[in-house]
């Protein structure tokens, strides 16, 4: 089923309902958590207010008070299966504690974590549904094993900080005519439709559709990875060296056939590299994707 067949207007109307029930944990620079209230005031006014976050782990002051209750909550909800008197599934308490320990003791990683969480929250609010399950499903369906969910989230923050719509409730559009949360141009849309054989099919991409915009990002990351790997194999010099992930991020901004990094492209790479510091901590990535 083509996801873009979902009634987009209904999803936009569902944003208010979403806001009252869902947000991910935002670790504030002051290492404390807050729980501001939500108001059902629509996209424009909501974006003009501070971005809301619900703290689900309690207050963090010196140590993380409330973390034990979070662990017990998750342990209590975990179904432990017993087979032949052996426990075959249990809650991995250490994984949660490790992620929290990393975030509470590493301000640099916390800053990048906060950016990703902010983008997820904004994207989820404007889409009217949890973003993570959707992105995970679409990456699994379209990424062909070549796209990581965390990289989609990095692109989401860099391109739009999770915004789908502008302050007037219209689809976000840049001065270079790039659309939506993942800032895809019509030229890129048309090439991806051609390259992946989507032209004239029910899955043909329309980047003004928020769901197709996400799909286009995944297809584009997949295509750019293939293109830059082929360039290296053919002996071409890449200004990012052998680092394919950096090459893909650079190409997402400067283009698949670019041979030199523009100033804006360099800025893009720097933002991507900062976000990618989180890659060294799989516990934190797991915490983001599975909390």
Rounded to 5°, angle at Cα 7 from 5 and 11: 125
Q: How confident is the model at residue 269 (pLDDT cuts 50, 70, 90)?
A: very high
In a domain, 276, yes or no: yes
The number of folded domains in the chain is 1
Q: What is the pLDDT of residues 154-211, one digit of tens each?
A: 999 999 999 999 999 999 999 999 999 999 999 999 999 999 999 999 999 999 999 9
Share of the chain above pLDDT 90, in %: 66
pLDDT for 24 equals: 60
pLDDT for 214 equals: 98
In a domain, 123, yes or no: yes
In a domain, 217, yes or no: yes
Residue 39 pLDDT exceeds 70:
no
Range of the domain at 236: 3-56+106-290
How many other C-beta atoms can be found within 10 angstroms of the C-beta atom of residue 97?
A: 16
Decide: helix, strand or coil at residue 185.
strand
The CATH number given to whatever domain includes residue 151 is 1.10.530.10
Residue 137 pLDDT exceeds 60:
yes
What average pLDDT does this structure show over 132-139? 98
In a domain, 61, yes or no: no
Q: CB under 8 Å to 214, separation ≥6 — which residues?
A: 134, 135, 138, 152, 181, 182
pLDDT for 228 equals: 97
What average pLDDT does this structure show over 250-258? 96
Rounded CA gap, 145 and 149, in Å?
A: 11
In a domain, 85, yes or no: no
Distance of CA 70 to CAs 66, 192, 249, Å? Answer: 6, 44, 36
In a domain, 98, yes or no: no
In a domain, 264, yes or no: yes
Instruction: Output 77 or 129, whichever has higher pLDDT.
Output: 129
In a domain, 68, yes or no: no
């Amino acid at each position: 089923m083509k996801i873009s067949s979902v009634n987009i207007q209904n999803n936009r109307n569902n944003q208010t309902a979403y806001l009252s029930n869902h947000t991910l944990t935002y670790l504030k620079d002051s290492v404390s958590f807050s729980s501001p209230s939500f108001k059902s005031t629509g996209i424009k006014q909501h974006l003009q207010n501070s971005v809301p976050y619900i703290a689900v782990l309690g207050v963090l002051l010196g140590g993380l008070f409330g973390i034990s209750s979070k662990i017990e909550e998750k342990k209590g909800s975990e179904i432990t299966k017993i087979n032949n008197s052996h426990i075959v599934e249990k809650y991995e308490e250490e994984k949660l504690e490790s992620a929290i320990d990393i975030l509470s003791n590493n301000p640099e990683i916390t800053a990048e974590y906060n950016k990703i969480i902010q983008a997820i929250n904004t994207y989820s609010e404007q889409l009217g549904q949890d973003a993570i399950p959707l992105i995970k499903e679409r990456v699994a369906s379209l990424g062909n094993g070549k796209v990581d969910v965390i990289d989609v989230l990095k692109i989401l923050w860099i391109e739009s900080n999770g915004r789908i719509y502008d302050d007037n409730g219209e689809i976000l559009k840049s001065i270079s005519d790039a659309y939506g949360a993942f800032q895809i141009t019509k030229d890129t849309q048309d090439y991806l439709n051609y390259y992946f054989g989507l032209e004239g099919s029910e899955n043909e991409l329309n980047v003004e559709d928020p769901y197709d915009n996400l799909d286009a990002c995944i297809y584009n990351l997949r295509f750019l990875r293939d293109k830059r790997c082929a360039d290296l194999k053919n002996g071409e010099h890449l200004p990012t060296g052998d680092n394919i992930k950096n090459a893909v991020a650079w190409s997402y901004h400067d283009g698949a056939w670019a041979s030199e990094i523009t100033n804006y492209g360099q800025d893009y790479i720097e933002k991507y590299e900062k976000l990618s510091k989180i890659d060294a901590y799989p516990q934190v990535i797991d915490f983001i994707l599975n909390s």
